[in-house]
Copies of this chain bind each other. A is one copy, B any other.
Amino acid sequence: MERSKVLSALSALAHVSRLDLVRLLVPRGDEGMAAGDIARTLGLSASRLSFHLSALEQAGLIRSRRVSRNVIYSADLSGIGGAISYLLADCCMDHPQVLACCGASARHALHRVAEGDAAPRITDPESGTPDRDR
C-alpha cells in the first residue's frame, strides 16, 4: 500500500464519527447498511454523514453500491487491513513489542486464519475492483 493512501486512511480514521462508522460497518461485512439507517443509528444529519462516508470511501476504507433508492455502504476489509498492515510492517518493521500489544485475541484469530478459516478473497482493490458504483 502506498504511503499517500495510508496517510489518507489514517486521517480518515482520525475522527470520532468516521471511526464509529467503520466500527458499525465492519461486523456487517459485505451486507453493509443503507446510508439512511447509518444516519439514524449514529444520530448524524444526512449531509454530514454523506460527507464522512465519501471521505472514508475516497480513503479506500469503505465502498458503496446503489440498491434501488438506497445506497448501501460496506467496509472494505482489505483497505482497512492494508492500512493496519502498513503501520505494523512498513512503519514498525513488525517489531515484536508492537506485535505483542496486539493481544491474545488477534493471536487467536491469526491461528484461525492460518488454519484456513479466513474469508475468501483478500486481493488488492486497485487491480480487481471495477465498477460497482458510477
Contact = CB atoms under 8 A, between A and B. Distances in A.
A91 B96 CA distance: 22
Contact of A87 (B84, B92, B114, B130): B84
A85 B113 contact: no
A127 B9 CA distance: 30
Of the four ranges (under 10, 10 to 19, 20 to 34, 35 or more), the interface on chain A belongs to 35 or more
A113 B99 contact: yes
A132 B68 CA distance: 49
A89 interface: yes
11 contacts: A10-B11, A10-B14, A80-B98, A85-B106, A95-B109, A96-B118, A96-B120, A99-B113, A99-B118, A107-B114, A111-B114
